[in-house]
Chains A and B, each alone.
Chain A
Amino acid sequence: QSVLMQPPSVSGAPGQKVTVSCAGSSSNIGSVYDVHWYQQLPGKAPKLLIYGNNDRPSGVPERFSGSKSGTSASLAITGLQAEDEADYYCQSYDVRLDTWVFGGGTKLIVL
């Protein structure tokens, strides 16, 4: 059971928008800690996608955006493309556990 809760899968057709949720608590996302998102393409290492809740590293398309509100965060992907099919993980820090925490991951299926 992951500390940060994500839906196991989401799906959408090419060109559509999908959202991946990440539910935490007052000891992690709801505290002073930000959320980072990683994309893991099949058979590859994770890659930083969003940092500090809503910033994109250089090279990440504007189609990817993040937000945080209260004890939850979300990743939105607009203009869905086949190459976006991957696993997405949220990550933060938990002050009560005193450790990094990851979501269980969400598999994005492009129909």
Chain B
Amino acid sequence: EVQLLESGGGFVQPGGSLRLSCAASGFSFSNYAVTWVRQAPGKGLEWVTAITTGGTTYYAASVRGRFTISRDNSQNTVYLQMNSLRAEDTAVYYCGREFLVGVTPGLDYWGHGTLVTVSS
């Protein structure tokens, strides 16, 4: 069974840092790109960042330069290092396994999410 389990969320002050983890199981992890999507309280979904099987990374403009995604295939885990956090980064962060239909990426499996709250 494919499973993705996020951890590392919590409460942090503006300007602070957090590192999220996404532990995967039930599939050949190294063969899949992984994506983070976030959802602010009461709001819609927002794509944040992605890492390919070869380690190439992509970022939304809103987090570029502050967030860093990485992966450890030996641990079947993707990490999201979040620095210089702002109140507008407050959200549930979901990691997902990426699939491709033609040239359109999507997420076929999602974790349960981890809440990040940035507040003074």
- B-contacting residues of A (Cβ < 8 Å)? 2, 32-36, 38, 44-48, 51-52, 55, 57, 89, 91-93, 99-105
Contacts and interface: CB of A to CB of B under 8 A. Distances in A.
B110 A91 contact: no
Contact size range, B: 20 to 34
A47 B101 contact: no
Given A45-B111, A45-B113, A46-B94, A51 B45 contact: no
Interface string B33-71: 001010000001111000000000010110000000000
A55 B99 CA distance: 13
A40 to B, nearest CB: 8
A51 B101 contact: yes
B44 A34 contact: no
Contacts of B103: 32-33, 93
A105 B44 contact: yes
A52 B110 contact: no
Interface in B84-105: 94, 99, 101-105
Contact of A51 (B106, B112, B113): B106
Contact of A93 (B44, B105, B108, B112): B105
B107 interface: yes
